[in-house]
Amino acid sequence: MKRRICVVVTARPSYSRIKSALLAIKKHPDLELQLVVAASALLERYGSVVDVMREDGLEPDAQVYMVVEGENLVTSAKSTGIGIVELATIFDNLKPDAVLSIADRYETIATAITGSYMNIPVIHVQGGEVTGSIDEKVRHAVTKLSNVHLVSNKGAYDRVVKMGEVEGSVYITGCPSIDLAKDVMNGMTYEDFDDLKRGVGAHIDFNSDYIMVMQHPVTNEWQEAQMQMTETLKAIEKCEYPAYWFWPNVDAGSDAGSKAIRTFREQGRCKNIRFLKNLPPEAFLYVLKKSMCLVGNSSVGIRESSYLGIPVVNIGSRQAGRERSANVIDVDYDENYILEAIKTQVTNGHYASSDIYGDGSAGERVADVLSKVEFNIDKKITY
């Protein structure tokens, strides 16, 4: 009988972080994939990731609408609570042998809490990493609620073990998102330029020089989100290159960050920027690979960009403490610092590829671990 693995995907970045593992689980002879899509992954304003998943041949077994409007600290907590309530019913219906929670977004802890209280083994991908904001607390809390830990590198492995987890429960698989970056590095191309045309703003010649921007609110600095976004907007406005700018995630402060963008647009000050909601994961990485530089505070700058060798200007504290390679320059929220760092990185050009977050084979490793871990009759994991 196949082992039922229920994976809960809650946001745009979560899908890119787990796609290769989803496909590997789906095709594994000893595993059955149960896919639950939730939160902002269902919402059009954040790119309707569920549609991309369907195009990839991944049909959800269940959907959870759990995002409370407002994008502040109160609505984040309430959305997590709704997720727990709804996931309890879904897990009861699907009866998985294990549930898998991804990374550190606030919605993901709902998966771990629900699975734990229902005596369902919890698997955590990307535990043991260090970053700024509440994400680190969520990540470590999910680690303590989990039974199996699939981490990106040796540093993450060591931290999870130091937190008291059994060494035999921690596996270095690499980050599944690097699998997609490897495909791009190995020559995968992208020709559906209609995806880029669906954005709004400046027309950009895809074959010209351009930069990319991905900046999200920092949850413990959410009241400064508008100011922080404005500083980056001013730097990009002064930059001589056109920019593809991807809309911020659904975090506390997202409304304020979005307001900064809309204010700039209404003032006619985004003449060199094209704003996009979402691209399919491989298409996004192909566009990233062709860019001169990535600007913002997304973990894409730390993870996938390190493998692709993309120059990165990382702004602020959101990625503080996360292991990085030589491709990253860190600056504060100041338009002049950001602009100078962009000029430096464009001059530097692409860097050597780094395997700090994996070698591009994580998805298969994840499926292999999940097929071999032993469960006893009361659904506790044995090692």
**CATH number of the CATH domain containing 374:** 3.40.50.2000
Residue 314 lies in a domain: yes
The yes-or-no verdict on residue 374 having pLDDT over 80 is: no
Residues 214 and 77 both lie in one domain:
no
The total number of structural domains in the chain stands at 2
Q: Which two tokens stand for residue 286?
A: 């192909």
Task: Please name which of 207, 10, 32 lies closest in space to residue 109, comparing C-alpha atoms.
Answer: 10
* Same domain assignment for residues 260 and 365: no
Q: Are 47 and 136 within one domain?
A: yes
Average pLDDT over residues 1-8: 96
Helices (H), the chain: 12-27, 49-55, 73-94, 108-117, 133-145, 154-162, 176-185, 194-197, 225-238, 254-266, 281-290, 304-308, 335-348, 362-372
Residues 19 and 112 placed together within one structural domain of the fold: yes
**In what helix (H) or strand (E) does residue 148 lie, and over which residues does it extend?**
strand 148-151
What's the mean pLDDT in 255-266?
Answer: 91
35 and 169 assigned to the same domain: yes
Q: Which domain holds residue 371?
A: 3-174+361-382
Same domain, 334 and 365: no
Flag whether 179 is in a domain. no
Residues 198 and 93 in one domain: no
* Same domain as 283, residue 161: no
Rounded to two decimals, what is the model's pTM? 0.91
**Same domain as 190, residue 137:** no
Tens digit of pLDDT for each residue in 215-233?
Answer: 999 988 989 999 999 999 9
More confident residue, 373 or 110: 110
**Residues 317, 290 within the same domain:** yes
Q: What percent of the chain has pLDDT over 90?
A: 78
- For residues 221 and 320, state if they share a domain: yes
